[in-house]
Amino acid sequence: MPLRSALDLLPRARAAGHAVGAFSIHSPEMVEAVFDAAEAAAAPVILQVGRRAVRNSGVEQCCAWVRQRASRSAVPACLHLDHALDFDAVVRGLRAGCTSVMYDGAELPLAENARRTAEIVRLAHAAGVPVEAEVGRVGGVEDDISVEEAEARLAGPEACARFVAETGCDSLAPAVGSVHGLGSGVPRLRIDLLRRIAAVVPLPLVLHGGSGLDGAQMRAAIGAGVAKVNIDTELRRAFVAGLREGLEAHGPTDDPALALAAGTAAVRAQVAARIADFGAAGQA
């Protein structure tokens, strides 16, 4: 089936109380694994292309993998450009067929983030594509920051409401305590803050940094208005661990398919587990 806009999937998910998994892909095998898991669960799904994948393989190539597999998908699927930092990256993503884009102005002062987001919204909407934007700053596990600094990076409800009104964005990723990557501990989501944001922002909310978060926190976040959860690091980890196990299990071999099959199976299992956490099974 043709790729779907995020607008077809996310407002409905927020209203129904589930979240659509947005899984970052880095190879054709990962694309296959995400689609297979989504189809087995009859779940809508988002495949996203982030900056690492763009750097490694190019946005056109990554999007072509997804478009090709989507043409025989049994579930509604959206192709999302993740964390684009500038106008050019968004234009390339749109040309490559993305049906959703994220502009990431989180490093900028809020007013400048809003100004640039509004420009991206005009551009993407002219192409019929919705825009996700970020307020506050979802950092990485490698950031060495104090409790005060972490607090200062969180999104405030009033700032979120103003940002949405000023930019016309279609979904919002507020910083609510999650971090990108997998650290030693499990981050504590600020569900109270999420609820206050959801009370003044009727749009689907997006949770970044989904890797490593436990199912209970995920469910609480979804209950508070999150309609899209981004997962990257844990899928890359699963893929690499699967490749390694596949090679070890088969002993000396010159057939890469053996390792790739094991890597694909590991990603499929992880995506299936997350779809269950998100309450998305049977929602296609």
Q: Which residues bind Zn ion (CB under 5 A)?
A: 208, 230
d(CA 138, CA 207): 9
Instruction: Report the residue number, 196 or 208, with the smaller CB distance to ligand G3H.
Output: 208
Q: Which stretch binds ligand G3H (CB under 6 A): 107-115, 126-134, 208-216, 252-260?
A: 208-216
Q: Quick one: the chain helix, strand, coil %, rounded to 5?
A: 50, 15, 35
Q: How far is the CB of 232 from ligand G3H (least distance, A)?
A: 3
Judge whether 82 and 47 are in contact, CB under 8 Å: no
82 in contact with ligand G3H (CB under 6 A): yes
Instruction: State how far Cα 35 lies from the chain centre.
Output: 15
**Interacting residue with ligand G3H among 231, 267, 272, 275 (CB under 6 A):** 231
Please calculate the CA angle 183-184-185 and round it to the nearest 5 degrees: 95
The question of whether 143 is a catalytic residue gets the answer no
270 in contact with ligand G3H (CB under 6 A): no
Quick count: other Cβ atoms within 10 Å of Cβ 86? Answer: 12
**Interacting residue with ligand G3H among 136, 210, 242, 279 (CB under 6 A):** 210
Given the residues 82, 104, 170, 232, select the one marked as catalytic: 82
Q: How far is the CB of 32 from Zn ion (least distance, A)?
A: 23
Instruction: Report the residue number, 2 or 140, with the smaller CB distance to ligand G3H.
Output: 140
Q: How far is the CB of 182 from ligand G3H (least distance, A)?
A: 7
Q: Is 144 in a helix, a strand, or coil?
A: coil
The CA-atom distances, in angstroms, between 82 and each of 39, 96, 99, 194 are: 23, 13, 11, 21
Tell me, by CB under 6 A, how many residues bind ligand G3H.
15
- Give the x-and-dash track for 167-196 against ligand G3H (CB under 6 A): -------------xx---------------
d(CA 123, CA 88): 11
Strands, DSSP E only, in the chain?
20-24, 45-49, 77-84, 100-103, 131-135, 171-174, 205-207, 226-231
232 in contact with ligand G3H (CB under 6 A): yes
Quick count: other Cβ atoms within 10 Å of Cβ 171? Answer: 23
209 in contact with ligand G3H (CB under 6 A): yes
Judge whether 138 and 179 are in contact, CB under 8 Å: yes
Q: How far is the CB of 246 from Zn ion (least distance, A)?
A: 28
- Give the x-and-dash track for 234-253 against ligand G3H (CB under 6 A): x-------------------
Subset of residues 38 to 67 that bind ligand G3H, contact rule: CB under 6 A? 50
d(CA 30, CA 131): 24
* Catalytic residue numbers, as ranges: 82
Binding site for ligand G3H (CB under 6 A): 24, 50, 82-83, 180-181, 208-211, 230-234
